[in-house]
Each structure stands twice: as C-alpha cells, then as structure tokens.
A = this chain, B = another copy of it.
C-alpha cells in the first residue's frame, strides 16, 4: 500500500485544513468565507491509468491531489482549485450571477430577520393565533419563476406554528397563510397572504387563523403521538463469524465484488472502480441530481421546486446513522469530512453504513425425477446513506448481489411539505391530510449517473425491443414467433421506456464478444418506470431540470459533466443540463457526438409523481423506487452458481410448532365423518 492517499480518497482533515489556509491567504479579513473544500477527482484519463496499474499490480504513478473550493470573498462567489501537495492555486474563477449551495447559517439569519421584521410581526398578530403558539419560519430557496431577478439570492419564508411546547412537535401540521420574501441582505421584501381556495390568488386579505384547524392527529414523535403497538417482537441479525466483507480504508471487498467509495458534500456517496471477479464493470456510479417540483399552480407555489443535491447537498445533509436503528446486523460505518465556514475540517460521522442482508432465495431447482432440491439463499451487500432535506427524508441504498447484480433503491420518507387551506376547501392539485393542511401534488425526479467500464471504457448503449415476427409469414406459420430488434445508439440523446415493446437498455462492449453466446458482453438496465416531468417545457421547472424530459440519456464522457442540471442549480435559469450539453455539441460542427464504441455515460431518470395520500401523513411510510443493473451475456454463466448451498446447520432457523390448543381439541372431538 502506498503511504499517500488513494486518488479517490476524499480529502482528509489535514488536507482540508491545509487547503483552507491556502485560500484564506487570498483575503485579509479573517472572514467565514468557506462553503466547500472537497476533492476534485482526477481527470478520467489520468485516473484510469492509475487504476489499470493498480489492478496489474504495477506501482501506479501518483496523481496530483486537487481540491475544489467554493468560497465567498468580498461577497463574490469564488471557485478555486488548489493543488493540495503543492499548496498552490491551479484555477481561480469568480462566478458572477451564481450561488453556492444552501448556507444553513445564512438560512438561520433569514429566519431570525424575518421573525424580527415589524411588518411580519404585525401580520402574525393579525392572525390571532391560539394561545401558546410558536411561529416557525421555514426558509426555502427560491425556485426560479421569472418574477425576480435571480442574480441576487432571494429566500422564500413559509410560516408554520407549533402548538405544543415539545420541540419536536410537528409544525408542518399548522401551515399559516403568510409568505414572505427575504433579500440577500436580510430585508423582508414582501409579505403576502397565501391563496386558500383553488382559484384564489396571492393576496393581502388579513384573515385571522381559523381555530377549527387545531387538531391532535398529526404528531409522529413518540412523546406526542398515539400509543405504540406492543405486538412487534424483537428480530435480530446474528453473524457469529462477523461480516463477509473486508474494508481497507475506502476500499470494499465482498463476495467477488471490489469497489471504492467516495463521499462529497453534493452527491453524498459515490462508487468507483466497481469490479466483479476482477472484471471491470463501472467506473463511477452516483446519484447525479434530484428535483422536486410542486404542482400547485397558484402563485407563489411555483417557487417550490427543490434541487436536493445541487441546492441542498446529499452529503452535507447526510444523517449520522445509528447502530440498531438505521441498520441491523454487523455494521461498518464510514465518516466523511466537510468544512466549516472558517475552513476547519468538519466531521460528518456515520454518513454511510455498510452491512449484509439476507434476501430470500437466490436460486433453486428440484429435480422432479429424484426429488432432490438444491437451494441457495441470496446475500446482499448494502451501502446505505440517509439524508434529511427539511421536511423530507431520502434513504439511498446500493445493493450488490452474489449474482453480479446491482440494485439502487431510493426510499422517500419524512414529512410532506404542507400549505394552508381553508377548512372545507379542496383544490385539484393537492390532498387535504388534516384540518387546514394541504399536501400539494409534486414529483420526485432522480437522475442516476452510470459511467460504465464494461471490460474497458469503450462501451455502447443498445435499445432493444421484443417484437412479433411478421404474420402471416412462412417464417412464422403459427403466429407465435418473436425476436429482438436491437439498435446501437449512434449519437448522444434521450430515450424513453416502452413496456409495450418490452424495451430494454443494454450497455455493451462491442470489442468483447461472449464466446458462448457470440454476442457483445453487456449489462442491462432495469429501469424504474416513472412519469417524466409534468411541468410545461417552457416553464422554469422544466428548463432547469432537463434530465426530466427522458428516462434514459447517453452522452460522451466529460469530466466536467457530473450534474444533470448543471453545476450551479441555485436560482438557475435553465439551459445548462444534459439536454443542453447534447444540443450544444450537436450544433457545434467540430464537437464529437458519437456514442458508439466510445467512453460513454448513461443517465437514468426515474422517480414518482407523488400525489399524497392521507396514509403519508403525518410521517410517510417509505415509498420505494428501485433501479437495477444486471449482467447480460457478460459472464459465462450464472455468477452466483458457486454460492454455498443453504443448510439448516448454517442458518439455524427455528420451527414454530402448532401452538393451537383450541384446534387440537377440535380435531380430537370432531366426530369421524
């Protein structure tokens, strides 16, 4: 092992501190300037050479460690790349008209400024809130709607109240019909009353709070909510010989899989150099972006549209996972490092958990002639991270299978974002989940970035439909024949799912032919069937989240294209995501646009059109979305063929007896027929 960090290792606390000191030297003021100090991953060209050497057991040539820094210096947003070992700045730009991701310290100031504003106070007074109410301001980034000049940071303040003295009382159960806009300089620019009925508009009618909205059914915290069921008996995972994985720093070895994990403030967990049985599969796997546009058409609700990665950050919002609560069994936790605004390394503890899970039958066959059954159970490696973005929680899980399959699961849970509604009113774009509480319709759109390296970096995307053979036709006399219609995608672009055609998307390596099937080796994408973005193509929501236009995209690999809605989503104006990259290259006569047998990236857009049901309230049972990647004529047979046969000796299950005295008695007493 080299003594220097691996090129994919996130910056260490020492590296962060060192980089901070380099950047701090740029400004005489000892300001709280830092937003981000993170690893700038090496260019793919360099890193692949390094990894190749590593896997060939040659000593790799060390790569330059570079940090990407986001800092506000004299109110300007700087992007600075620092050579970590040389302690020198290698690139420096001021990003005019751009904004860094959410600054929670600033958001706290917005809250305070808003609550202290005398006009806001007057507005609150006019509500005549119930005795003991505590008003809560929930500041949100402003989703561009064309009504404000977006060069300056603007914050939307939504109002709620807490009736209980308990700090964890669910204030989303009491949305107030006030909204305020706060400027960069913490001035309240406007205060309005929110619409209530379907056709009502943003207005200034000072209606008092309707005390009929007070209710007790919206608490989730165990101190406050309904009594707990006592029927659920304990269930524990015992691994007497410990887990089957080995961890070496950020490198994981498990059941023929090897991979490196990365972690950054924005994407959270990233996976690198994913291999099975020493064969290269994926260069990098990551959640690229997610967007949550709300479908309530009334001003100012179109300003609700959250880029939970680009604006909030899946890394900085990652939960500190708790043993026995978030994860069951033998758990290895990974920490991450972020930075404080003053440039001190900030530990993000337990942001990723790594453990194993039983997943039922992996494969089974009973020879009906002998009655002999052979059965194996499926063991999964689980890499889980959970993020909290204000009201919502997202559980992101990678599952690795012994059959060389990968599944990526998103669970949406947490609390619905709510808006006030008059008691008795209804709107067509939301569900009333409690008195006076509207849960508006919205979508969750995720974009998974798949950078394949199937036996090398030159891969292709295949769109394959299953189609009936012509009929009537000599080749198909009985009308039952069907074949596959496969097309290799030649140019960058977006594609859609079609279950009517059994459409599958495969990533293949045309240069590597499976000797048995005589077809290129490949992996198949198991998409999650989802509705695409509902907002009109000319809306800011749609223009800002271009990845929402198609389910599957393919582009040529570019180091700088990691984020499907562009690098800076905060108050973005659109026109800078995956569709724009493709369009720009297609229109540029000199750009290369071919994706056949090239270094490609495949992007999968999926998610849910979440029209809330009352069962999602006051806290939402996890809604699962699962995407898969499975080998397709890549190996030379079932990669899990050698998984140990299941035995009771190993698994030690317990037989539950017939503990039913009533029935036993009945059997005994029943007269013989």
A644 engages B228 (CB within 8 Å)? yes
How far, in angstroms, from A58 to B110 measured CA to CA in the complex? 63
How far, in angstroms, from A365 to B631 measured CA to CA in the complex? 36
Provide the residues of chain B in CB contact with A295, threshold 8 Å: 480-483
How far, in angstroms, from A384 to B364 measured CA to CA in the complex? 14
User: Lowest 9 CB-CB distances: which A-B pairs, in order?
Assistant: A297-B481, A324-B648, A479-B536, A502-B531, A479-B539, A403-B621, A302-B478, A502-B609, A324-B651
How far, in angstroms, from A650 to B666 measured CA to CA in the complex? 37
Provide the residues of chain B in CB contact with A233, threshold 8 Å: 239-244
Provide the residues of chain B in CB contact with A123, threshold 8 Å: none
18 pairs of residues in contact across A and B, judged by CB atoms under 8 Å: A136-B369, A217-B636, A220-B374, A228-B643, A228-B644, A231-B254, A232-B255, A237-B358, A295-B481, A297-B475, A297-B477, A330-B653, A363-B622, A403-B621, A426-B518, A468-B536, A502-B609, A615-B634
Provide the residues of chain B in CB contact with A164, threshold 8 Å: none
| Additional A-B contact list (18), CB under 8 Å, known A235-B329, A378-B621, A502-B531 | A85-B673, A167-B369, A222-B645, A234-B652, A235-B239, A235-B358, A247-B659, A325-B646, A325-B647, A328-B651, A332-B656, A361-B395, A363-B621, A364-B622, A471-B538, A501-B531, A514-B614, A614-B636
B413 engages A363 (CB within 8 Å)? yes
Mark contacts of A337-380 with chain B using CB atoms, 8 A cut-off: 1 yes-contact digit, 0 otherwise.
00000000000000000111010111111111110111101110
What is the minimal beta-carbon distance from A338 to any residue of chain B, in angstroms?
16
What is the minimal beta-carbon distance from A435 to any residue of chain B, in angstroms?
8
**A1 sits at the interface (CB 8 A):** yes
Look across to chain B and name the residue whose beta carbon is closest to the beta carbon of A230.
B644
Provide the residues of chain B in CB contact with A405, threshold 8 Å: 621
Given contact pairs A237-B653, A538-B479, A653-B331, A364 touches B645 in the complex (Cβ within 8 A): no
How far, in angstroms, from A368 to B393 measured CA to CA in the complex? 11
Provide the residues of chain B in CB contact with A217, threshold 8 Å: 636-637
**A133 sits at the interface (CB 8 A):** no
**A4 sits at the interface (CB 8 A):** yes
Provide the residues of chain B in CB contact with A302, threshold 8 Å: 477-478, 480
Q: Considering residues A483, A500, A613, which has the most beta carbons from chain B within 10 angstroms of its beta carbon?
A: A613
**A511 sits at the interface (CB 8 A):** no
What is the minimal beta-carbon distance from A449 to any residue of chain B, in angstroms?
21
Q: Which residues of A from 470 to 505 have beta carbons under 8 Å from B?
A: 471, 475-484, 496-497, 499-502
Look across to chain B and name the residue whose beta carbon is closest to the beta carbon of A541.
B480
Provide the residues of chain B in CB contact with A469, threshold 8 Å: 297, 429
Mark contacts of A194-221 with chain B using CB atoms, 8 A cut-off: 1 yes-contact digit, 0 otherwise.
0000010000000000000000011011
Mark contacts of A614-654 with chain B using CB atoms, 8 A cut-off: 1 yes-contact digit, 0 otherwise.
11111111100000001111111111111111111111111
Look across to chain B and name the residue whose beta carbon is closest to the beta carbon of A218.
B637
**A390 sits at the interface (CB 8 A):** yes
What is the minimal beta-carbon distance from A344 to any residue of chain B, in angstroms?
15
Provide the residues of chain B in CB contact with A299, threshold 8 Å: 477-478
How far, in angstroms, from A305 to B481 measured CA to CA in the complex? 12
Q: Which residues of A from 1 to 56 have beta carbons under 8 Å from B?
A: 1, 3-4, 14-15, 17-18
B483 engages A325 (CB within 8 Å)? no
Provide the residues of chain B in CB contact with A532, threshold 8 Å: 500
**A365 interface neighbour in B393, B529, B662, Cβ under 8 Å:** B393
Look across to chain B and name the residue whose beta carbon is closest to the beta carbon of A198.
B475
A366 engages B319 (CB within 8 Å)? yes
Provide the residues of chain B in CB contact with A404, threshold 8 Å: 615
How many residues on chain A are close to B (CB under 8 Å)?
A: 204
**A395 interface neighbour in B248, B332, B364, B476, Cβ under 8 Å:** B364
Provide the residues of chain B in CB contact with A431, threshold 8 Å: 517, 519, 633
Provide the residues of chain B in CB contact with A529, threshold 8 Å: 497, 499, 529
Look across to chain B and name the residue whose beta carbon is closest to the beta carbon of A501.
B531
**A571 sits at the interface (CB 8 A):** no
A540 engages B478 (CB within 8 Å)? yes
Given contact pairs A1-B666, A614-B516, A656-B331, A372 touches B168 in the complex (Cβ within 8 A): yes
Given contact pairs A247-B660, A373-B322, A434-B516, A673 touches B18 in the complex (Cβ within 8 A): yes
Mark contacts of A380-413 with chain B using CB atoms, 8 A cut-off: 1 yes-contact digit, 0 otherwise.
0000101010100101010001111100000101
Q: Considering residues A296, A368, A434, which has the most beta carbons from chain B within 10 angstroms of its beta carbon?
A: A368
Look across to chain B and name the residue whose beta carbon is closest to the beta carbon of A162.
B369
**A234 interface neighbour in B239, B468, B516, B519, Cβ under 8 Å:** B239
How far, in angstroms, from A618 to B364 measured CA to CA in the complex? 11
Look across to chain B and name the residue whose beta carbon is closest to the beta carbon of A388.
B366
Provide the residues of chain B in CB contact with A62, threshold 8 Å: none
How far, in angstroms, from A75 to B299 measured CA to CA in the complex? 77
Provide the residues of chain B in CB contact with A262, threshold 8 Å: none
A361 engages B220 (CB within 8 Å)? no
B433 engages A516 (CB within 8 Å)? yes
Look across to chain B and name the residue whose beta carbon is closest to the beta carbon of A655.
B323
**A375 interface neighbour in B326, B373, B617, Cβ under 8 Å:** B326
Q: Which residues of A from 526 to 576 have beta carbons under 8 Å from B?
A: 529-532, 534-536, 538-542
A367 engages B4 (CB within 8 Å)? no
What is the minimal beta-carbon distance from A475 to any residue of chain B, in angstroms?
6
**A227 sits at the interface (CB 8 A):** yes
Provide the residues of chain B in CB contact with A378, threshold 8 Å: 621-622
B327 engages A653 (CB within 8 Å)? yes
B656 engages A631 (CB within 8 Å)? no
How far, in angstroms, from A524 to B616 measured CA to CA in the complex? 13
What is the minimal beta-carbon distance from A188 to any residue of chain B, in angstroms?
21
A483 engages B234 (CB within 8 Å)? no
**A146 sits at the interface (CB 8 A):** yes
Provide the residues of chain B in CB contact with A645, threshold 8 Å: 222, 228
What is the minimal beta-carbon distance from A99 to any residue of chain B, in angstroms?
20
**A270 sits at the interface (CB 8 A):** no
A468 engages B535 (CB within 8 Å)? yes
Look across to chain B and name the residue whose beta carbon is closest to the beta carbon of A666.
B3
Given contact pairs A361-B395, A432-B517, A324 touches B646 in the complex (Cβ within 8 A): yes
Look across to chain B and name the residue whose beta carbon is closest to the beta carbon of A397.
B360
Provide the residues of chain B in CB contact with A243, threshold 8 Å: 233, 656
